[in-house]
Amino acid sequence: MASLRPWVVAALASCVALALAYVPPRGAQSTREQPVFFFQTPRGTPARQRAQALAEEWRGVEQSLRLVSARRQIHDVVRAASDRGNSLVVVNDSGVTFAAPIADSAAHVAWRQLGLGETKVSVALVIRWASLSPPRDRPALDEGIAGYLPPDSTDRTTCLAVVTAGRYWTRNVLSNTRDRFFSFGALVHSLKAGLGPCAFYAAFGTPGVPVHSWLAARNWDLAASLDPGARGRSNSMIEMAEPRYSWYWDAIYSLPPMAVACLAGRPDGCRAAVVAGAGDEPATPFPEIIQVDRRWNRIQRLVEAGRYLGDVAHAVGRDRFLAFWTSSQPVDTALATALKRPVGEWTADRQRDFVRPIRLGPAPPLGGVGLALTIAMLAIAIVAGTAARRQVR
């Protein structure tokens, strides 16, 4: 029995060391404050949250009303421009005055860069300029939300896009003087993204029923921009962060589980993230109002989700994408046919262009590994010492 005592002492010492290292005292709270990340907004009081919810609801209703009113106001303007062979009309918020020349030029440059010319579906781009002294009796405009009114039974040849220009663009475009940081290329890029789903309607026409139902169920999150952008260039917070920072992992795990699985390079997770909503038959309101969240800190089902269908169109070419866009087959089948690959595999490869794959599963911290090795070496030393002193009687 005497020879067992060192084993008992070693086991108890190991348990105590592990407990001290990993188990906090009962009732204790962490002394480390949670960091406030620069891409998060502080959580307000219940009254403030209620006021913000009412403001969001007011903006949504006001945006819908403005879209319906704008279509009626600019109908004749769009028809006249279409007769002249101009499929893009850029107007101010009033709906009857054309936008500033520099904004009109930037929008037409964006139109040409998207490969659009004279199209069957015309696009009316309405720019809402921000007020430099916003009124106090109503919520301020949210430049991160864009509204779209696609063609329907009342107007089958016009897609309406309403975007809000922030105070920076308003000050530089409408004034005679511009600051030294003003970039015409950045304005083109902003308006190119502002065309949103209307660019897809102009390029490929009205989508088939399965594709339309799929995108409507997802609020058109995969078709927010026809521009594929630079390959490998991402504006995602995950790409701009480093894994050694804790808020990098906070950003990772704020994503839906399917998006996290896709970041790990799992084709099943990528496929599930893409085809989510396919097969659903949401009740399409009339008129159909599309409101796309363009804010950079929004939670997405995929990294760079807004460019997904734009990347597909760029990768497969116009003819194959048009066949997918107007197909009556299920979305998964039609998309795999256009890609000539399983959807999950192609999407996993696309994600690697933006974000380095992450590893999922248990991974012990270095401190824990060091502590475990130390305990193991201590136990081996005790055993060796005990065996050296053993005597056979």
What's the mean pLDDT when you consider all of the chain? 79
Whether the pLDDT of residue 158 is over 70: the answer is yes
Mean pLDDT of the region 228-232:
59
Tens-place pLDDT, residues 331-389: 999 999 999 999 999 999 998 888 888 777 666 666 766 777 788 787 777 777 776 66
Token pair for 65: 């009303």
Whether the pLDDT of residue 224 is over 70: the answer is yes
Q: Domain spans of the chain? A: 46-205, 207-281+296-360
Higher pLDDT, 32 or 80: 80
Task: Give the rounded percent of residues in the chain with a pLDDT score beyond 90.
Answer: 28
Tens-place pLDDT, residues 4-21: 566 666 666 666 666 555
Extended beta strands in the chain, E state: 88-92, 122-129, 145-149, 158-165, 290-293
Residues 6+ apart with CB under 8 A from 266: 344, 348, 360
What number of other Cβ atoms are within 10 A of residue 358's Cβ? 15
* pLDDT the model gives residue 298: 67
Q: What is the DSSP letter of 122?
A: E
Confidence (pTM): 0.76
* pLDDT the model gives residue 27: 39
In this prediction, residue 53 has a pLDDT band, given cuts at 50, 70 and 90, of: confident
Supply the DSSP string of 153-219, one letter for each residue: TTBTTEEEEEEEE-HHHHHHHHSS---TT--HHHHHHHHHHHTHHHHHHHHH-SPPHHHHHHHHHTT
Residues 6+ apart with CB under 8 A from 67: 147, 148, 149, 160, 162, 287, 289
Give me the sheet containing 158-165, strands edge to edge: 88-92, 122-129, 158-165, 145-149, 290-293
Higher pLDDT, 34 or 276: 276
* pLDDT the model gives residue 272: 92
- Cis status of the peptide bond prior to 287, with omega within 30 of 0: yes
* pLDDT the model gives residue 25: 47
